[in-house]
Amino acid sequence: MLMFRTVFGFLAVATIVALSPAATRADEADTALARIRQNKVVTIGFRESAVPFAYLDERRQPSGYAIDICNKVVAEIGRKLAIPGIEARYVPVTPQTRIPLIANGTVDRMWHDSEFIDPAGAG
């Protein structure tokens, strides 16, 4: 359990660090970190048919190993940024839409196969 907590803490800190340089720009309102703070929501792109990692279950809700991890990372981001009640919002993406959705700010983070994709290109 301690290892999982350490991993989730690391992922949350890595997400915050990856987004922080963008938050220092003059136009902070348009950054992912500012949106997360303002809306109390982390929007995550995911593939609907990447079973067992990410898929839509029988209730048409995002499910799978990656979704479970993302939920824990979002909770940790909320804890680190002192955002009570932070929410994970999932947006289905395809190989053709994932980069444009990150670029235009529709998606804050992207779960692709087994890793987060940083909108700033840091991985």
Q: Is the pTM of the predicted complex or chain greater than 0.85?
A: no
Per-residue pLDDT of the chain (123 residues; tens, 9 = 90+): 555 455 555 556 556 555 554 444 344 334 778 888 899 999 999 999 899 999 999 999 999 999 999 999 999 999 998 999 999 999 999 989 988 998 888 988 877 655 555 554 444
Domains annotated for the chain, with CATH where assigned, are 2-117 (3.40.190.10)
Q: Which two tokens stand for residue 53?
A: 């990692």
Report the C-alpha gap between 104 and 1 in whole angstroms.
37
Sheet holding 87-92, edge to edge: 87-92, 41-46, 109-112, 115-117
